[in-house]
Chain A
Amino acid sequence: MASNPRGVAYGAWLLLAISTISLILAAVATFNEGNGIAHTPGTYLVLVSTALMLIGSLMLTFARGMPRWLGGLIAFLILLDLLGTGLAAYLLQTEWLLGCMGVGLVAWLVHVIADPATGKRDRYMTQRKEAVS
């Protein structure tokens, strides 16, 4: 899954940046009176979903020692979060948040394809590969 095992996790960092921006945008949508959606269940929903996305991105970025299955699970949940928040943003007609989800999907793909693997299992597999070679 990871093609640069010792490099920088660009995808995770991009996800972190996007989820931070998304949380700010969701907060603006929730509390900015007069936008037609402030203080509605829909905006509170995206506020929570972007907050969870931020937590997940922080874990992918900084908790490099977590088990591989946990990293995979978090990545999967972030994908669901991106899709669900994107749909909610579409229905809330918050174009900037929708755009962030689009960029977030790109970041997620970068993470899945190009980021170094996380977790003890990954280090063990790497050692085995090195021994074989």
Chain B
Amino acid sequence: MNRHDAVALIAALLLTSAMGQVLAQDEPPAEEEGGQPQGITETQDDESEQTTDSEAASDDTDGADTGDATLTPTGPGGRVETGPAGQPPSGSDPPEPPRTGPDAWMESSDSWATFNGDLRAQKYSPADQITPENVGELEQAWEYHTGDVADGSDDIPMSVWSATPLFVNDTLYLGTPFYRIIALDPGSGEEKWTFDPEAPLEALTQPNMKGRGVAYWEADEPQAGEACQKRVYIGTMDAKLYGVDADTGEPCADFGDNGMVDVDQWNTVNDKWPLSLFQPPTVYNDTLFLGWAGKDWADAVAPPGTVFALDARTGERKWTFYALPEEVFDRTGTANVWASMSLDPETGLLYIPISSPSPNYYGGERTEELPLATSVTALNTETGEVVWSRQLVHHDIWDYDTVAPPTLVDIRKDGETIPALVQPSKQGFLYVLNRETGEPVYPIEEREVPASDAEGEQASPTQPFVDIPEPVIPDEWPGISKIADIVGLGECSRKAEGLRYEGRFTPPSVEGTLTYPPTTGGSQWGGGAVDPEKGVFVINSNSVVQIYRLIPRDDYQQLEQSGETGGYYAQGDTAYGFQLETFLNWAGMPCWKPPYGTLAAYDLSTGERLWNEPFGQVQKHGFYMPESWGSVTIGAPVITRSGLIFIGASMDSRVRAIDLESGEVLWKHLVEAPAVSMPAVYTYEGKQYVTFAVGGNSILLPKVSDQVVAFALPD
């Protein structure tokens, strides 16, 4: 035992709940927001086609659909419904390629115009003013507070702010967790304008006030003096989508009903709750692509997952993609797209990460194959048709939502350039696929997995496994932490002995299943970043152990009557309720060995992992645990051409700059809460800025903030 270990041991003994709060998810799995398999397109042949002329917008300004819809089967089990502004599927096999070409305004190397920096979700900036050599001189350029923050102590639920700031149109745009839009001067942080939709601040679907920011659009040839040639969009928890002028913040009258589209008008099946719009839309070719969030732990029958394509000017619906076949709507739902998407502007293909069907942890009522659930799927942006789809988990009963946008990058491998994508996952696998065909670049192998012993459940006999690139977490769970076991007087060992564990994909069980990785990942919604020139992919990940326990319905009813709802999920009226419990001892310490979070880099041309380092520090009661333990993270890295990684994400409320080559931390700075959003890297008036929205997330710590902070080199 070295000095560091000794200190760690003493710290662990003294801090009775050093990690417990961090990992004990007593609230619903807050990042799980539902989804939907299989696509469908509904066509209205008599409606207008998409145009690039705003004058061609429909007179129906409220965005509501009229006329009969046409449903077109697409993909394995999906459908597309074409809307008033849409173009019906051609019916050809394979689907005709969509119109291609990037939007010019999005191609500036100085900007950070989308949630992931660009449509390809590379999270890469060509900025090179800040280098590994001078990053130590980085200092705070300005700071701004939005005022939109809640710690949950009053009527407003706790805020969870994961918004990427956007820099475009010489302005920094922010969307707050109270669904306001704020425009700032990117060099000084001075406020230009704000827009307040006066959205209800209630936990209608998720337990917290969540927001991931705004999206931006501008016309190909903006007309000077005309309003709304450039627009900013924000969605709300009650399913309203607002579009405002990017220069003034005034609502765009021609967008929906005086600047608002009620997306819930299309929530017509199992509409138990609104389609919450936390994730800003993906914008391409004058179209907004919109997924939604809900809750897939409370009900079995829930709104089926959909993706909407809306006209960016009018808000009219072009098409709706359904990921589940209609036959299962009376037994399941979700399989929606709640994370961000990526899009290849050269081919016009939209890549959507589709989540698991409801309920999360029991599939006895949905035993048929649902091939688009828990998949990565490519859609034709013009029609919504499925071009290809790859299911990443069969019959998902672990809540392994496909959770992050695939990163699109060309890989140079064996002398060839392959148009590829890298799909991170909660399972910890990195799926590297040809993004034009969906075929694996590195092998994906179907392997036998354990059977379920729960009555009515029919777990898939095989699941897809990936060995290259090496998974972000180990194949086997890390084993019992001696420190936690000693502090718990053997509690961890005793508890583990009574649990079922047969490796990955061990199904949930009545006796309790030790699950690794659980729903908290692996990798989370932020996904990874890539340096497209070096072919290096970087991703943060979590190593967490949770216990999945099915509770027979009769017993669950008794639990409900006793009021013990923390960590318990009803799962509708299926045969089992569910308990989700993080594997902790009495003192709240993790029963498994650290590290709890790492940051890793991969060479995509070989699949080799270049380095894998514990990242961040656990902080509890103010105390920082050893760096070798790492931290559970929520957020994502960005990469700059100069060879730097910028990332917040960790529990210790620090933002860091890391050397891309070695993984060494070169700079860090304390902020007010965990910076769970990815930063924006941009160049304004010749100066490079790195700007973080610091919001916090109750999954990490009950610590919130409304801070926006920009860093730059001194003049």
Could you tell me which A residues sit within 8 Å of B by CB distance? 34-37, 40-43, 84, 87-88, 90-93
Question: Do B623 and A92 touch across chains, with their CB atoms under 8 A apart?
Answer: yes
A84 to B7, CA, bound (A): 12
Contact A42:B621 (CB < 8 A) given known A36-B652, A36-B670 = yes
Can you list 13 A-B pairs with a CB-CB distance of less than 8 A? A34-B670, A36-B670, A41-B622, A87-B7, A87-B10, A87-B11, A87-B14, A90-B7, A91-B7, A91-B11, A91-B623, A92-B622, A93-B624
Could you tell me which B residues sit within 8 Å of A by CB distance? 7, 10-11, 14-15, 619, 621-625, 652-654, 670, 672
Residue among A36, A40, A84, A90 with max Cβ neighbours from chain B (10 Å): A36
Whole-angstrom distance between the Cβ of B635 and the nearest chain A Cβ? 17
A90 to B14, CA, bound (A): 13
Question: Do B624 and A92 touch across chains, with their CB atoms under 8 A apart?
Answer: yes
In the complex, chain B residues whose CB is within 8 Å of the CB of A35:
670
Whole-angstrom distance between the Cβ of A25 and the nearest chain B Cβ? 14
A37 to B670, CA, bound (A): 10
* Minimal Cβ-Cβ distance residue in A for B8: A91
Question: Do A41 and B621 touch across chains, with their CB atoms under 8 A apart?
Answer: yes
In the complex, chain A residues whose CB is within 8 Å of the CB of B14:
84, 87-88
* Minimal Cβ-Cβ distance residue in B for A35: B670
In the complex, chain B residues whose CB is within 8 Å of the CB of A37:
622
Q: A36-B622, A43-B622 are in contact. List 15 more A-B contacts (CB 8 A).
A: A34-B672, A35-B670, A36-B652, A36-B654, A40-B621, A41-B621, A42-B623, A84-B14, A87-B10, A87-B14, A88-B14, A91-B7, A91-B11, A91-B623, A91-B625
Whole-angstrom distance between the Cβ of A129 and the nearest chain B Cβ? 42
In the complex, chain A residues whose CB is within 8 Å of the CB of B654:
36
B622: contacting residue among A40, A84, A87, A90, CB under 8 A: A40
4 interchain residue pairs of minimum CB distance: A40-B622, A42-B622, A91-B623, A37-B622
In the complex, chain B residues whose CB is within 8 Å of the CB of A87:
7, 10-11, 14
Whole-angstrom distance between the Cβ of A128 and the nearest chain B Cβ? 43
B624: contacting residue among A34, A41, A84, A91, CB under 8 A: A91
A42 to B622, CA, bound (A): 5
Residue among A37, A84, A91 with max Cβ neighbours from chain B (10 Å): A91
In the complex, chain B residues whose CB is within 8 Å of the CB of A84:
14
Whole-angstrom distance between the Cβ of B8 and the nearest chain A Cβ? 10
A37 to B7, CA, bound (A): 19
Question: Do B11 and A36 touch across chains, with their CB atoms under 8 A apart?
Answer: no
* Minimal Cβ-Cβ distance residue in A for B15: A91
* Minimal Cβ-Cβ distance residue in B for A90: B7
Whole-angstrom distance between the Cβ of A95 and the nearest chain B Cβ? 12
Whole-angstrom distance between the Cβ of B486 and the nearest chain A Cβ? 18
A37 to B619, CA, bound (A): 9
Whole-angstrom distance between the Cβ of B594 and the nearest chain A Cβ? 15
A87 to B623, CA, bound (A): 10
Question: Do B672 and A88 touch across chains, with their CB atoms under 8 A apart?
Answer: no
A35 to B653, CA, bound (A): 10
Whole-angstrom distance between the Cβ of B38 and the nearest chain A Cβ? 47
* Minimal Cβ-Cβ distance residue in B for A39: B622
Residue among B15, B619, B625, B652 with max Cβ neighbours from chain A (10 Å): B619
In the complex, chain A residues whose CB is within 8 Å of the CB of B15:
91
In the complex, chain A residues whose CB is within 8 Å of the CB of B621:
40-42
A90 to B3, CA, bound (A): 13
Whole-angstrom distance between the Cβ of A114 and the nearest chain B Cβ? 30
A40 to B15, CA, bound (A): 13
Whole-angstrom distance between the Cβ of B481 and the nearest chain A Cβ? 18
A36 to B621, CA, bound (A): 11
* Minimal Cβ-Cβ distance residue in B for A33: B672
A43 to B623, CA, bound (A): 9
In the complex, chain A residues whose CB is within 8 Å of the CB of B10:
87
* Minimal Cβ-Cβ distance residue in B for A46: B622
In the complex, chain A residues whose CB is within 8 Å of the CB of B619:
36
In the complex, chain A residues whose CB is within 8 Å of the CB of B622:
36-37, 40-43, 92
In the complex, chain B residues whose CB is within 8 Å of the CB of A34:
670, 672
Whole-angstrom distance between the Cβ of B96 and the nearest chain A Cβ? 55
A36 to B672, CA, bound (A): 7
A90 to B4, CA, bound (A): 11
A41 to B14, CA, bound (A): 12
* Minimal Cβ-Cβ distance residue in B for A38: B622
Residue among B14, B622, B625 with max Cβ neighbours from chain A (10 Å): B622
A88 to B622, CA, bound (A): 10
Whole-angstrom distance between the Cβ of A121 and the nearest chain B Cβ? 35
Whole-angstrom distance between the Cβ of A27 and the nearest chain B Cβ? 14
Whole-angstrom distance between the Cβ of A65 and the nearest chain B Cβ? 36
A35 to B619, CA, bound (A): 13
Question: Do B623 and A36 touch across chains, with their CB atoms under 8 A apart?
Answer: no
* Minimal Cβ-Cβ distance residue in B for A83: B10
A91 to B625, CA, bound (A): 7
A93 to B75, CA, bound (A): 55
A90 to B617, CA, bound (A): 14
Whole-angstrom distance between the Cβ of A94 and the nearest chain B Cβ? 10
A93 to B11, CA, bound (A): 13
A34 to B10, CA, bound (A): 27
A40 to B623, CA, bound (A): 9
Question: Do A36 and B653 touch across chains, with their CB atoms under 8 A apart?
Answer: yes
Whole-angstrom distance between the Cβ of A17 and the nearest chain B Cβ? 26
Whole-angstrom distance between the Cβ of A76 and the nearest chain B Cβ? 19
A37 to B653, CA, bound (A): 10
In the complex, chain A residues whose CB is within 8 Å of the CB of B624:
91-93
* Minimal Cβ-Cβ distance residue in B for A43: B622
A91 to B623, CA, bound (A): 5
A31 to B653, CA, bound (A): 18
* Minimal Cβ-Cβ distance residue in A for B619: A36
* Minimal Cβ-Cβ distance residue in B for A36: B670
* Minimal Cβ-Cβ distance residue in B for A88: B623
A48 to B111, CA, bound (A): 50
Whole-angstrom distance between the Cβ of A50 and the nearest chain B Cβ? 15
In the complex, chain A residues whose CB is within 8 Å of the CB of B7:
87, 90-91
In the complex, chain B residues whose CB is within 8 Å of the CB of A40:
621-622
* Minimal Cβ-Cβ distance residue in B for A44: B622
A92 to B653, CA, bound (A): 13
* Minimal Cβ-Cβ distance residue in B for A37: B622
A88 to B621, CA, bound (A): 11
In the complex, chain A residues whose CB is within 8 Å of the CB of B11:
87, 91
* Minimal Cβ-Cβ distance residue in B for A87: B10
A42 to B621, CA, bound (A): 5
In the complex, chain A residues whose CB is within 8 Å of the CB of B672:
34
Whole-angstrom distance between the Cβ of B448 and the nearest chain A Cβ? 46
A34 to B625, CA, bound (A): 19
In the complex, chain A residues whose CB is within 8 Å of the CB of B623:
42, 88, 91-92
Whole-angstrom distance between the Cβ of B349 and the nearest chain A Cβ? 44
Whole-angstrom distance between the Cβ of B345 and the nearest chain A Cβ? 41
Whole-angstrom distance between the Cβ of B564 and the nearest chain A Cβ? 27
In the complex, chain A residues whose CB is within 8 Å of the CB of B652:
36
Whole-angstrom distance between the Cβ of B676 and the nearest chain A Cβ? 16
In the complex, chain A residues whose CB is within 8 Å of the CB of B625:
91
Whole-angstrom distance between the Cβ of A120 and the nearest chain B Cβ? 38
Whole-angstrom distance between the Cβ of B581 and the nearest chain A Cβ? 24
A37 to B703, CA, bound (A): 11
In the complex, chain B residues whose CB is within 8 Å of the CB of A42:
621-623
A34 to B621, CA, bound (A): 15
In the complex, chain B residues whose CB is within 8 Å of the CB of A93:
624
Whole-angstrom distance between the Cβ of A90 and the nearest chain B Cβ? 7
